[in-house]
Structure 1
Amino acid sequence: MNSVVLAVVGVAIMTLGYLFYSRYLAQRVYRLDPDYKTPAHTRTDGVDFVPTNKFVLWGHHFTSVAGAAPIVGPAIAVIWGWLPAFIWVTVGTVFFAGMHDLGALWASARNKGQSMGTLSGRYIGARGSRLFLVVIFFLLLMVNAAFAVVISNLLVSTPTAVIPTWGAILVALVVGQAIYRWKMPLWLVSVVGVVCLYALILIGDSNPIVLPETMFGLSANAVWILVLFIYAGIASMLPVWMLLQPRDYINGLQLFIGLGILYGSVLIAAPALVAPAWNADVPAGTPGIVPLLFVTIACGALSGFHGMVASGTSSKQLDKETDARFVGYFGAVGEGLLALGAIIATTAGFQSLTQWREIYHSFNQGGVTAFVEGGSNIMNAGLGLPPSLSATVLATMAVLFAATTMDTGVRLQRFVVQEAGELLGMKLSHVPATFVVLIFGLGLAFSAGADGSGGMVIWPLFGTTNQLLAALTLSVIAVMLLRRGRTIIPIVIPLVFVGVMSLYALVVQLGTFYNAGDWLLLVLDVIILVAALWVLFEAGVAMAKARREGPSPDDDDDVVAESTSSSQHSQHRE
């Protein structure tokens, strides 16, 4: 089949999902209120709580959630064939991810911008909250450490991406000043910022930067990992408007343009899908498609990490509650488009099935390397871009996606450390909390040696942990809706599906880790499994109680806002 069909059908499905299903969720389920005062206004502090233009906030949210995972997951999962990956990405984006991300953003905005971990304490119970924080902490630790490894590998393998990667920070700092201090028009800032980023890509393509094989006794990869963590720690303590938000926004524009270039190349070159729709001849040792498909492709179909971003940073910057539809749901659509692009690049970017099988000779092969190679081949055939420049564009896309996610991940983990400190009776400021995050992240990264590759040690648990976190987030949203007397069907169906698949995958992995004698992963698997089962049980009890007792007034400003809104509507009718 031709890849154009896959691209057109996939984009059409996601577009229809945003136009119709997200409107239903916004109006009938979450009932977004344009007059509701969001935490960005009621708790403005100029650091974390900052009212933000919805397009700028979308850029932050989209690039924060769309890290390397929506590339890596689909680029690995196509080993089972392009059709299962395509179905899960499209259906997952429309009915799972968009609903989940919008719901987490709404839930947090209705509760003073609190994180899902804190909300679990209120809506599920204190015991569930503590265990929820355990799952969140492990997930963020995996993301930060693993993405540091992914970025460092790309900076070493594609040295032409070094200048645009670090130059983007300077561009972001200027963009932040231009928007908030100099009050320049957003369109002008956007155009100039994007032009500067692409100029950096051209400069980087002509001026690769290669670190020495060893520096201070560390490999080039290890040096980049150390630098990345130091940078992310500093960035996490700066006001969001100064670096994080403008960096994510301008990167979001550049990355969306990059996706446009990739999709445009597909339409022009119209390459055939050389990989099978359903791969009946998978390499030996490849696990079964069920349940592994649904945890291998997490970001790009459904991801618990999105709930952490939505409730950790995005909710604190939401100007109007109605902006949550564009920021949350359309942010998920953007990631779905990236995942779809990864599927096309890794199944249509090679000359033959034989060449494809040479890359996918065993499970966990492919990944970012296959995406960059396949995508650059398509861009070369479609637009005539030189292979080196095409590879630089795609590698820069992957690095910037991963880097913005790592920026946000370190900030989110700092929030978790501060929340955990409060539970233990300690109040930690930004600096010591960030220091704790860096100690854990660097400790994991260098746990396997001086090359920094330890960041991938616990990565095999990312998919299952991530999806379990999504199920836990959905359980909190379900309790909130029940306590407001609203339908929970759009939430419960994905909750049950992803909960069952994730728990099933954890059990399967238990056997894998035991047979391999990997006791660290085995112990962590058990801890996560027990914590998730406990929280889901507590959530089930909370949902049963909420259904039994019926709608009841809450002690937050949600009820006040709904009462005020109802009164205003009543007066309007009169």
Structure 2
Amino acid sequence: MNAVILMVMGLVAMFLGYAFYSKFIAEKIFKLDPNFRTPAHEFEDGVDFVPTNKYVLWGHHFTSVAGAAPIIGPAIAVIWGWVPAFLWVVFGTIFFAGVHDAGAIWASNRNKAKSIGALTEDVIGKRARSLFMIVIFLVLLMVNAVFATAISNLLVKFPSSVVPVWGAIFVALIIGQLIFRRMIGLGMVSVLGVVALYALIWAGPSLPIVMPDAILGLSDKASWIVLLFIYAAIASLLPVWMLLQPRDYINGLQLFIGLILMYAAVVISGPELVAPAFNMETPEGTPSLVPLLFVTIACGAISGFHGLVSSGTTSKQIEKETDIRFVGYFGAIGEGSLSLATIIAVTAGFATLADWQAVYSSFGQGGVAAFVSGGANILTNGIGLDNTIAQTLLTVMAVLFAGTTMDTGIRLQRYIFQEWGEIYNLKWLQKAAPATLLAVGTCMLLAFGAGADGSGGMLIWPLFGTTNQLLAGLTLMVITVMLIRLKRPSYYTLIPLVFLLVMTIFALLIQLKGFYNDENWFLFGLDGVILVAAICIALEAAATMVRVRKENA
């Protein structure tokens, strides 16, 4: 099948989802009110609570939730064939992710911009909140530690990406001043930012930077990880308008230009999908498609991490409540379009089926490397872009998204520690600096706890998919209970909630058996803790739903 057909079907379906389904959800279910005074105005402080133009905020939200996961997940999941990955990305984006992301912003926005963890106590109960906070902390720990490892690997493998990746930070700082102080219009700022970013990408191959093999006993990858965490700690303490918003906004524009180039190259070259529609000859050791597909592809379909961003940072910057539809739902559409491009890159970017099978020789293969190489081949064949520059472009795209996710992730983890400070009345922990040090410290402890290479985060990464999807289900629980209390239709969140919980608990049980057979007692115990937390929170939420329905009767 020609990749152009797949591209058109996916993009048209997601466009229709935004045009019609998101409008229905916004107006009839969440009932977004343009006159509602948002927390960004009520608690405006110039640091975390900042009323923000919806286009700038969309850029922050989208690039914060995107990261490398909407590339990694689909690029691994195509081992089962491109049809299952395509269907889950498209329908998961329309009916699951968009509702989940917009719903989390709405729920937080209506409750003084509380995080989804804090909201759990108000909506379900204290016990549920305590368990929820553990799940949230584990997800953030995994994301921050593993994305640091992923970025460092790419910086070492593609030294041409170093200049544009770090140069983008300085571009963002300048853009932040121009936007916040309104020195020039947003349109001109956007043009200048994108031109500067692509100039850096063009210059990257001419100015490759290679980290020394060893610095103070640390390998080149470990040195990058340390620098990344130092940067993320500083970024998480700066006002959102200074770095977080402009960096994410410019990255969002850069992604759309990258996607336009990719999709244009697909149209021009018309590559064939060399991967099978359904792979009936999966390599030995590949797990079953159900339920593992639905936890392998998280970002790009639905992801619990999105709920943390939606309620943690985005809800504090909503200027008008009606902006939630564009920022939240269309943010999910943007991520779905990236996952769709990834599926095309890793199934049509190879010359033959044999070349594809050589990469997908075992489960877990593919990932960002397959996206970069396959996507670069399509760009070269389609629009004649130099292959090295094409690889640099796609690598920078992946690294910048992972970096912006780390920026937001460390800030969110700081919020978690500050919330614990409020719960247990620890005044010192409620302050930003010590909470940030603890956030970075726990991530680095995980990263370097298993060795000096800094890749310790990979130890618990096998549990990321299930933990992340569990978090998405729990976020949908909170939204569903709120809707029931307000006597509004709840099926639009309840059905995705039940589906996710069933698939996630099923996957946790499969993984539990696998860890037991491998005698991996650390992951076996952690999987057990997450499984028990999931069941306990589900029971708490179910009891709350029944009670609220009786009260409303």
Indicate whether the TM-score tops 0.5.
Answer: yes
Distance in structure 2 (CA, Å) of the matches to 1:136 and 1:376: 36
**Number of the residue aligned with 1:114:** 114
**1:426-441 residue pairs with structure 2 within 5 A?**
426-427=426-427, 428=429, 429-441=431-443
Percentage of pairs with the same residue:
62
Counterpart amino acid of 1:292?
L
Counterpart amino acid of 2:238?
L
**Number of the residue aligned with 1:465:** 467
Distance in structure 1 (CA, Å) of the matches to 2:526 and 2:322: 40
Q: Which runs of 5+ in 1 are unaligned?
A: 552-574
Counterpart amino acid of 1:522?
F
**1:42-441 residue pairs with structure 2 within 5 A?**
42-427=42-427, 428=429, 429-441=431-443
**Number of the residue aligned with 1:537:** 539
Deviation at 1:515, TM superposition (A): 1.0
**Number of the residue aligned with 2:37:** 37
Deviation at 1:338, TM superposition (A): 0.5
Distance in structure 1 (CA, Å) of the matches to 2:482 and 2:523: 34
Deviation at 1:423, TM superposition (A): 1.6
Q: Which runs of 5+ in 2 are unaligned?
A: none
Counterpart amino acid of 1:29?
I
Instruction: Report if the CA contact (8 A) 1:133-1:420 is conserved.
Output: no
* Partner SS state of residue 364, structure 1: coil
Deviation at 1:360, TM superposition (A): 0.1
Task: Give per-residue Cα distances to partners, 1:40-66, cap 9 Å, x unaligned.
Answer: 000101100000000000000000000
Counterpart amino acid of 2:33?
D
**Number of the residue aligned with 1:567:** none
Task: Give per-residue Cα distances to partners, 1:544-570, cap 9 Å, x unaligned.
Answer: 11111118xxxxxxxxxxxxxxxxxxx
Distance in structure 2 (CA, Å) of the matches to 1:326 and 1:546: 31
Task: Give per-residue Cα distances to partners, 1:345-396, cap 9 Å, x unaligned.
Answer: 0000000000000000000000000000000000000011111000000000
Deviation at 1:184, TM superposition (A): 1.7
Deviation at 1:183, TM superposition (A): 3.4
**Number of the residue aligned with 1:556:** none
* Partner SS state of residue 31, structure 2: coil
Distance in structure 2 (CA, Å) of the matches to 1:71 and 1:106: 27
Deviates more, 1:314-323 or 1:533-542: 533-542
**Number of the residue aligned with 1:507:** 509
* Partner SS state of residue 26, structure 1: helix
Deviation at 1:182, TM superposition (A): 4.1
Counterpart amino acid of 2:264?
G
Counterpart amino acid of 1:516?
D
Distance in structure 1 (CA, Å) of the matches to 2:530 and 2:229: 25
Distance in structure 2 (CA, Å) of the matches to 1:237 and 1:382: 43
Instruction: Report if the CA contact (8 A) 1:14-1:93 is conserved.
Output: yes
Instruction: Report if the CA contact (8 A) 1:101-1:332 is conserved.
Output: yes
Task: Give per-residue Cα distances to partners, 1:390-445, cap 9 Å, x unaligned.
Answer: 00000000000100001000000110111112222213200000010111100111
Number of positions where the alignment pairs a residue of Structure 1 with one of Structure 2: 551
Task: Give per-residue Cα distances to partners, 1:477-503, cap 9 Å, x unaligned.
Answer: 011011111000100110000110000
Distance in structure 1 (CA, Å) of the matches to 2:261 and 2:154: 21
Instruction: Report if the CA contact (8 A) 1:38-1:318 is conserved.
Output: yes
* Partner SS state of residue 62, structure 2: helix
Distance in structure 1 (CA, Å) of the matches to 2:30 and 2:240: 27
Counterpart amino acid of 2:316?
K
* Partner SS state of residue 487, structure 2: coil
Counterpart amino acid of 1:360?
Y
**Number of the residue aligned with 2:479:** 477
* Partner SS state of residue 44, structure 1: coil
Deviation at 1:328, TM superposition (A): 0.1
Distance in structure 1 (CA, Å) of the matches to 2:374 and 2:199: 24
Q: Does 1:24 align with 2:21?
A: no
Distance in structure 1 (CA, Å) of the matches to 2:230 and 2:50: 25
Task: Give per-residue Cα distances to partners, 1:257-290, cap 9 Å, x unaligned.
Answer: 1111111111111100000000000000000001
* Partner SS state of residue 449, structure 2: coil
Deviates more, 1:147-156 or 1:523-532: 523-532
Distance in structure 2 (CA, Å) of the matches to 1:385 and 1:508: 44
Distance in structure 2 (CA, Å) of the matches to 1:67 and 1:229: 16
Distance in structure 2 (CA, Å) of the matches to 1:233 and 1:153: 20
**Number of the residue aligned with 1:557:** none
Distance in structure 1 (CA, Å) of the matches to 2:264 and 2:519: 47
Distance in structure 1 (CA, Å) of the matches to 2:215 and 2:389: 28
Instruction: Report if the CA contact (8 A) 1:144-1:409 is conserved.
Output: yes
**Number of the residue aligned with 2:522:** 520
**Number of the residue aligned with 2:10:** 10
Deviation at 1:28, TM superposition (A): 0.4
Distance in structure 1 (CA, Å) of the matches to 2:416 and 2:213: 36
Task: Give per-residue Cα distances to partners, 1:79-102, cap 9 Å, x unaligned.
Answer: 000000000000000000000000
Instruction: Report if the CA contact (8 A) 1:104-1:311 is conserved.
Output: yes
Distance in structure 1 (CA, Å) of the matches to 2:230 and 2:306: 24
Distance in structure 2 (CA, Å) of the matches to 1:350 and 1:399: 23
Distance in structure 2 (CA, Å) of the matches to 1:130 and 1:184: 46
Q: CA RMSD in A?
A: 0.7
Distance in structure 2 (CA, Å) of the matches to 1:294 and 1:466: 11
* Partner SS state of residue 306, structure 1: helix
Task: Give per-residue Cα distances to partners, 1:242-266, cap 9 Å, x unaligned.
Answer: 0011110011101111111111111
Distance in structure 2 (CA, Å) of the matches to 1:15 and 1:197: 28
Counterpart amino acid of 2:357?
R
Counterpart amino acid of 1:526?
G
Counterpart amino acid of 1:97?
A
Task: Give per-residue Cα distances to partners, 1:507-533, cap 9 Å, x unaligned.
Answer: 100011111111111111111111111
Deviation at 1:448, TM superposition (A): 1.8
Query: Which runs of 4 or more aligned residues in structure 1 lie more than 3 Å from their structure 2 counterparts after TM superposition?
Result: none
Distance in structure 1 (CA, Å) of the matches to 2:417 and 2:526: 19
Counterpart amino acid of 1:380?
T
* Partner SS state of residue 365, structure 2: coil
Q: Compute the TM-score of the two structures, normalised by the length of structure 2.
A: 0.99
**Number of the residue aligned with 1:486:** 488
Distance in structure 2 (CA, Å) of the matches to 1:433 and 1:223: 23
